Structure 1
Amino acid sequence: MNSEARQSRSPSPPPAGPLPIRRLQESLINRIAAGEIIHRPASALKELIENSLDAGSTTIRVTVKDGGLKLLQIQDNGCGIRKADLPVLAQRFTTSKLTTFSDLSKLVTYGFRGEALASVSHVAHLSVVTKTKDETCAWKAQYEDGELTPPKSGQTADPKPCAGNDGTTITVEDLFYNTPTRLSALRNSTEEYARILDVVTKYAVHNAHVSFTCKKAGSTNPDISTPGHPSTTVNAIKLLYGGMISRELLEVNASGSNISRPRSHSSPKKKGKRKASDMNLDEDAIQEDDEEEEVTWKAEAWISSANFHAKKMTFLLFINHRLVDSSRIKRACEGVYNGILPKGTSPFIYLSLNIDPKSVDVNVHPTKREVHFLDEEQITDQVAGKLTAALANVNSSRVFEYQTLLTGGVAQSENSQVPSKYRTKPAVSDPSSSSSIAGIDSPPDVALPRKSSAPQHKIRSSQQDRTLDSMFPVVNPSQSQTAPVIDVDMETPPTPTATKLKDIPESQCYLASIQSLRAKILKSKHEGLTEIIEKHVFVGIVDLYKCMSLIQHSTKLYLVNHGSLAEEFFYQLGLRQFGNFSPLKLDPPPPISRLIELAVKVDGMIGQSGLNPKDVVKRITKMLISKRDMLEEYFKVSINSRGELETLPILLRDYTPNLDRLPLFLMRLGPQVDWTSEKECFDTFLRELAHFYAPWPIGPLADETAKEEATMSAGEKADRWQIQHVLFPSMRRYLVGTESLLDRDVVQIANLPDLYKVFERC
């Protein structure tokens, strides 16, 4: 290789100094902006359709040539454009929708930026023919790079009078003629035309009162044609998607109000009377720290029933009449059909959400394809719940099967009193299953519709499915009421739906130390474990004293240490609510010196180390009293001047920590918390607070036989109920699975397909 070739392949030398910063040319700025708005012909058409709808059109005709690359024309009968506005029509940020920034909070139109026609004019040849009702003729104008341009050389650029109907006709020719890279990527005109038809179809469904027509240039038969007024949404779906879908459509309506908006950290807090006794959580002590504003929303949906399924999901989502994408809402709607449709099939869903414009931020995406709105998670959950209820009510007469991951039976008595609507029908033999499956007229929230998928791929998809406790026989069947009972001495705990989880907003904290600790949690996030926790189904508590529980995700069963998970969860909740805790009042307030003294007496390590227990108690007490201002401000740990503990922070509503561990918690604050550094102090204190809140046992039973034979106490029943119905549902919603939990706290112990392979070999 010669020296010239080697020199040509060598990297260019770095610049001697920093390059100067220059402002881009206006034409380049406009070209970049156009690329953000106009991705392909379908995106240009979407903007033009929205402009026509904003103009009050009742008829919209679309003509396409070569997938929209050669010609894209849209004609409407709207209000038209005034002649005086034509010179600035295609300039950037020229709009009739906004005058001040506050108008964004009450926006009810599709467009507002004034960038659609400007972007089109920078990547195509744009012409407009428009006429208002007050004018005697139409006006035609042509644009290039946002400005009026003469139709022929030697002519002026001013709009020219011409014949035309009321409304506007916009013609886009030679799209991307000046961006060859974009043009070369869109050579498949058939695919582009299919995208155009998809856009027209979706807007035609949502705007059933508007007549839509879409056809190829030169064709006499349109590919899409809707009659418009007085058509309905279901008629439009039937016309555009076929009669098979329309026969299986279910109408769902939902609404909500009084959805809370999180108050800022600096907002004044409400104060109220607080009374407590015997160191128990008092309901009056829990004050709502969030101001509430009434936000009304409505949802209209047309969804397919369980009798319809297709290979590809059809999902139409409109928020305030704007066609948008939302992965959260789509996943939630897909989840409604889990366990209902056969594997590999999908439903049809049309969903229209109308939300107070003050709660919606449409200014988050150049094409308005995405929007953000307040209480998105709560609204999504309520809508999904309505869809689930609608499907369950319709399918209540169908034959259901009950599938669990674990094997085992439940002892039933012939004399057990079971309500008639839950009695089983004669079993139906299924050769693909290892046992017969009984058809059950089950309540909608516990029954899964029958499907033909292989048994090794059936998964638990309902929180109401049988738990681990229900696998044990009933000791005295006569005491059984309606369903499997785990023990004659155990009281029936409240149902999982009895506890409604309260939203836990993240406090606004500007301390660099807290922001760093929060970022550290996100950095250590393990995507796989987080997904398992978020989508798991609780199976049961294996051992309360060893903190072992079973959860299921998909077809896999996991043994988890719920104590370790809870400790990490409460640590993250402490960071999430830092500086904005609600107080748990203790009445009468116990002296911290007495509590620390009790913990020191129990802890044998202090005596073995040669330290004087009384000196240890005094030093820890003195240190906590000296830090009481900081503890009160940041953690709601209130210690009065007499050295009495008045309040503790509430990390999770409806969850009460074991106050028998309070002396140990106070004692550990001395040696385990680093009081010398801000970040380390906050980190170690929150770790100790999380250790106090976690459902660790006070101490192991000395006699394992005695533990097995011991009757379950009321406290143990309460602990089990809190773990299953408060702790695990809250972790599903807020816990970020970190890599440290994978080492020893989460272990996969079974996989249903693998178990079936073992059974087949036996």
Structure 2
Amino acid sequence: MNTEPESELPGPAPIRRLQESLINRIAAGEIIHRPASALKELLENSLDAGATTIRVTVKDGGLKLLQIQDNGSGIRRSDLPILAERFTTSKLTTFSDLTKLTTYGFRGEALASISHVAYLSVVTKTRTSTCAYKALYSDGKLVPAQPGQSEEPKPCAGNDGTTITIENLFFNTPTRLSALRNTSEEYARILDVLTKYAIHNPKVSFMCKKAGSSSPDLSTPSASTTRHAIKMLYGPSIEKDLLQIAVNEDMKGEVSWSSEVYFTNVNYQAKKTILLLFINSRLVESTRIKRAIENVYTGILPKGVSPFVYLSLKIDPRSVDVNVHPTKKEVHFLNEEEITMQICDTLQAKIAEKSHSRVFEYQTLLTGGIESSSQRNDKKRKEAPAETQTINDEEREEVSPSLSGPKKVYSHHKVRTSLQDRTLDSMFPVVNPSQISKGPAESSPQPQSLPRSREMKESECFLTSVTTLRNRIVKGKHKLLTEILEKHTFVGIVDVDRCLSLIQYSTKLYLVNHGALAEELFYQLGLRHFGDFSRLKLEPSPSLRELVKIAVDAEEISEETTLSKPDIVDRIVKILHSRRSMLSEYFSLNISEDGLVQSLPLILRDYTPNLDKLPLFLMRLGPQVNWTSETECFESFLRELAYFYVPGPITSDPSIPTAMSKETDEDIAGSKAERWQIQHILFPAMRRHLAAPKSLLDVDVVQVASLPDLYKVFERC
């Protein structure tokens, strides 16, 4: 209960009217977020002015210089004094004009906002004017070029159109400026905006280059087509996978609309969805439309693969509300759900009509169940799906001996089962890399050949959370895929950096991501060893703080966080140090009182992880492990531990080169040792211990060849 005297309670603060300069600066921050948003506003002004050529020059990601030159209609001399004032526009006269708006801009806030956070200059000439005029602006008003001179626009030489120059963007807002120090990222955003507008306006020529550069980074011709613009800006490989539809509708006289869609078929693969959405020629974002389009592809594309979609939607302006976002990046329109559904249905029908992907046919065959054992009883065959029965009957007839005697086995059904047969690596002279010591955990050279792995017993654990996680593995086991891995013959490593290998099962050849398989194997082995891990001692013991600092320094800090890199290091070290007793008891991860990492959990006998990944592993334990829930804590920790143990380079992006310079003898020796471990330790361990989940079938195990199918091809030849 509050016992303070009533007289000592603070009174209400007085309400004051903000200064005009502060109001304008706050408004500017809502409109201009970064150089790319300023460019978007000015591009729309140029397109509204009828420009057919737009040239953009950039310096330091647009923070030092952002110049847009067009050949549009220009600005009249008499309009220049109020050009940069707020709410000055040629697009509106009454509020009802919003219901029939067909232009990009209408509020008149772009140039005003820019003038409050940057130095703004304008050179413009109309087609009827005898010369161009140059004007300088600050805080929405004309300013003189030199002290003592008049602020009136000065006549100068110039071409028809307008050139707007923005210098020192955010010079008076240091907080915003400090958040945009990555000039390369800002320049990439500028190119992204220009790319999208260039695709939607193929009749307009766009060019963008850095100041001082002789060649542009983006250049498109005028009088082009949308398909040609997509090919030019997103690469020629996209053209062969590009489909097109047009959907038009008059919904009972309420809303008439039309749309044009360019989209990729199932053969195109991108890491993330690329959606270019234009509504009434305005570049906008819509989470609902994007989610609906992604749902169309969800059932057809493999996991981790995304499409490219360009959607231009024309709607009666009376049904569109464009004034719902300060930067106009969102709009609302009537019957959005019905329009989106009709577009998506048409898009899905077109994809189904044009889809002929061998990859998906193979994947369906794999998941359908390929049984090769001749001892299946009739009861199981009757319970199996029709497709599986057909495949089993073929293989039983061609491979299995009948009751009347053995049948001849044709060449295209002969299966190689000997591990002594030649592999990919055996075709090249390779010095045995097993003698190479990779880290402090190896006290003696690895043997030429390892004995068969001993059976690993589960540790005794009575924690409900661990029991639950172990039961999940049993329930999620895919029988056919597990059988393929149990009875496979190793063929060879295709690409170490991309973690691709070839294995054979029966008469089929599979391309597998051994990194994904290894990650699942190490996770399952970690659960099996829970509370009873062997230790991988680190001598000398490195500092936990130094290791975390190395990883944090290599990372880019998100704009959303307010923490500095030293703060992030302190927080992660504090989390791990405060839980070191639990980490030592359950996972054999020993951290001393003075912050030294003394040992790591050893998951697989004779296998040593890449200790270059240790800083990244310790850093990820801070934010990636859910320390508040027991089950999720154990699961997320073991997932991170498994990720640490996976072979391969530190980066997981195959597009990033792992060796830009000439490899040293040490690098070559290390690569050979890693390949040896993958073949002689990892794959035998997968054969014996991995209960493969169905999720691995999405993209990590793909059938690439079938001996009977290959013979059919050769017969046709």
TM-score between the two structures when normalised by the length of structure 2: 0.51
- 1:218 is matched with 212
Name the CA shift for 1:452/1:21 in 2 (closer, same or farther; >3 Å): farther
Tell whether the 8 Å contact from 1:343 to 1:453 is kept in structure 2 after alignment. Answer: no
Partner of 2:234: 241
Choose which of 74, 95, 100 in structure 1 pairs with 2:94. Answer: 100
Supply the distance in 1 between the matched residues of 2:220 and 2:251 (Cα, whole angstroms). Answer: 39
Cα distance between partner residues in 1 of 2:355 and 2:315: 30
2:603 maps to what in 1? none
Which of 327, 340, 365 aligns to 1:380? It is 340
Q: 1:453 to 1:79 in 2, by over 3 A?
A: farther
* Aligned counterpart for 2:154 among listed residues 151, 160, 163: 160
Amino acid across the alignment from 1:366? P
Q: Which whole-Å CA distance do the structure 2 matches of 1:168 and 1:365 have between them? A: 27
Q: CA deviation at 1:411?
A: 6.5
**Residue of structure 2 equivalent to 1:187:** 181
Q: 2:257 corresponds to which residue?
A: 297
* Structure 2 SS opposite 1:337: helix
1:8-64 CA distances to partner (integer Å, 9 max, x unpaired)? xxxxx9962111111111111100000000000000000000000000000000000
2:349 counterpart residue number: 389
Q: Report the CA distance between 1:311 and its aligned residue.
A: 1.3
Is the alpha carbon distance of 1:156 and 1:245 closer, same or farther for their aligned partners in structure 2, counting shifts above 3 Å? Answer: same
Q: Residue type matched to 2:48 in 1?
A: D
Distance 1:303 1:161, change over 3 A: same
| Distance (Å, rounded) in 1 between the aligned partners of 2:355 and 2:512 | 18
Unmatched 5+ stretches in structure 2: 1-6, 370-381, 390-412, 416-477, 485-509, 517-691, 698-717
* CA 1:212–1:755: 2 relative to 1, 3 Å: closer
1:354-406 deviation per Cα after TM superposition (whole angstroms, max 9, x unaligned): 1111111000000000000111111111111111111100016866438799x
Q: Are the equivalent residues in 2 in contact too, given 1:342–1:452 (CA < 8 A)?
A: no
Deviation, structure 1 residue 313? 2.1
Q: Is the 8 A contact 2:198 2:229 kept in 1?
A: yes
Contact residue 145 and residue 151 of structure 2 kept, 8 A: yes
Question: What residue in structure 2 maps to residue 364 of structure 1?
Answer: 324
2:242 and 2:8 mapped to 1: Cα distance?
A: 64
Alpha-carbon contact 1:90-1:147 (below 8 Å) kept:
yes
1:203 aligns with 2:203: no
1:245 maps to amino acid: I
Give the AA of the match of 1:364.
V
Q: Distance in 1 between matches of 2:512 and 2:259?
A: 33
**Residue 65 (structure 1) aligned with residue 56 (structure 2):** no
SS of equivalent to 1:390: helix
Cα deviation for residue 336 of structure 1 reads 1.2
Partner of 2:642: none
Say whether residues 1:123 and 2:122 are aligned partners. no
Residue 339 (structure 1) shift: 2.6
1:314 aligned onto 2:308: no
User: For the structure 1 residues 303 and 72, does the alpha-carbon distance in structure 2 shift closer, same or farther, using more than 3 Å as the test?
Assistant: same
Change (3 A) 1:209 1:755: closer
Cα distance in structure 2, aligned partners of 1:52 and 1:168: 8
Q: 1:47 to 1:41 in 2, by over 3 A?
A: same
- 3-state SS in 1 of match to 2:16: coil
Poorly superposed stretches of 4+, deviation over 2 Å = 13-16, 396-405, 407-412, 428-436, 451-454, 751-756
Are the equivalent residues in 2 in contact too, given 1:226–1:236 (CA < 8 A)?
yes
How far off is 1:83 after superposition?
0.5
Kindly provide the amino acid, as one letter, of the partner of residue 177 in structure 1. F
In the TM superposition, what is the alpha-carbon distance from 1:335 to its structure 2 partner?
1.1
Structure 1 counterpart of 2:261, one-letter code: A
Distance verdict in 2 for CA 1:431–1:201, change over 3 Å: farther
| Aligned partner (choices 107, 111, 114) of residue 105 of structure 2 | 111
Residue type of the partner of 1:192? E
Letter in 2 for 1:235: H
Match of residue 258, structure 1, among 251, 257, 274: 251
Q: Would you say the 8 A contact 1:51–1:111 is kept in 2?
A: yes
Give secondary structure in 2 for the equivalent of 1:296: strand
Query: Shift in Å at residue 252 of structure 1?
Result: 1.4
2:314 aligned residue (342, 354, 370): 354
Structure 1: gaps spanning 5 or more residues: 1-12, 260-292, 415-427, 437-450, 458-750, 757-762
Tell me the distance in 2 between the aligned counterparts of 1:212 and 1:114. Answer: 24
Whole-angstrom CA distance in 1 between matches of 2:44 and 2:92: 16
In the TM superposition, residue 161 of structure 1 has moved relative to its aligned partner by 0.2
Q: Which amino acid aligns with 2:243?
A: L
CA distance in 2, matches of 1:360, 1:754: 43
Is the contact made by 1:336 and 1:384 (CA closer than 8 Å) also made in structure 2? yes
Q: Distance in 2 between matches of 1:215 and 1:341?
A: 36
Compared CA separation, residues 18 and 404, structure 1 to 2 (3 A): farther
Conservation of the 8 A alpha-carbon contact between 1:91 and 1:147 = yes
- In 1, the alpha carbon distance for the partners of 2:146 and 2:357 equals 71
3-state DSSP of counterpart to 1:363 = coil
**Alignment-mate amino acid for residue 368 of structure 1:** K
Task: Specify the alignment match of 1:89 in structure 2.
Answer: 83
Deviations 1:200-254 (A, max 9, x none): 111001100000000000001000000111x000100111110001121001111
Higher deviation after alignment, 15-24 or 139-148: 15-24
Q: Is the 8 A contact 2:267 2:357 kept in 1?
A: no
Quote the residue 2:17 is aligned against.
Answer: 23
Tell me the CA shift for residue 294 of structure 1.
2.5
SS at match of 1:350: strand
Partner residue, 2:542: none
Give deviations 1:612-641, integer Å, cap 9, x for gaps. Answer: xxxxxxxxxxxxxxxxxxxxxxxxxxxxxx
In the TM superposition, what whole-angstrom CA distance separates every residue of 1:509-536 from its partner, at most 9, and x where no partner exists? Answer: xxxxxxxxxxxxxxxxxxxxxxxxxxxx
Shift of residue 431, structure 1, vs aligned partner:
10
Residues 481 and 694, structure 2, Cα contact 8 Å, conserved in 1: no
What CA deviation, in whole Å up to 9, does each residue of 1:112-135 have, x standing for no partner? 010000000000000000000010
Offset of residue 453 of structure 1: 9.8
8 A contact 1:41–1:196 mirrored in 2: yes
AA matched with 1:387? L
Q: CA shift at 1:409, angstroms?
A: 4.3
Query: 1:581-620 maps to which residues of 2 (within 5 A)?
Result: none
Give the one of 341, 364, 380 matched to 2:301: 341
Amino acid at match of 2:125: K
CA contact (8 A) 1:76 1:169 kept: yes
Contact 2:266 2:357 in 1 (8 A): no
C-alpha distance 330-59 of structure 1, shift in aligned 2 (>3 A): same
* 1:139 counterpart = 2:133: yes
Letter in 2 for 1:82: R
Alpha-carbon distance change, 432 to 209 in structure 1, aligned in 2, over 3 angstroms? farther
For residue 53 of structure 1, what is the amino acid of its counterpart? L
Deviation at 1:159, TM superposition (A): 0.4
Q: Deviations over 1:635-662 (max 9, x none)?
A: xxxxxxxxxxxxxxxxxxxxxxxxxxxx
What's the CA shift for 1:312? 2.4
Q: 2:77 is matched by which residue type in structure 1?
A: K
Q: Secondary structure at the match of 1:345?
A: coil
Give the Cα separation in 2 of the matches to 1:394 and 1:410. Answer: 28
Say which SS state the counterpart of residue 148 (structure 2) adopts. Answer: coil
Q: Secondary structure at the match of 2:61?
A: helix
Does the 8 Å contact 1:123/1:175 carry over to 2? yes
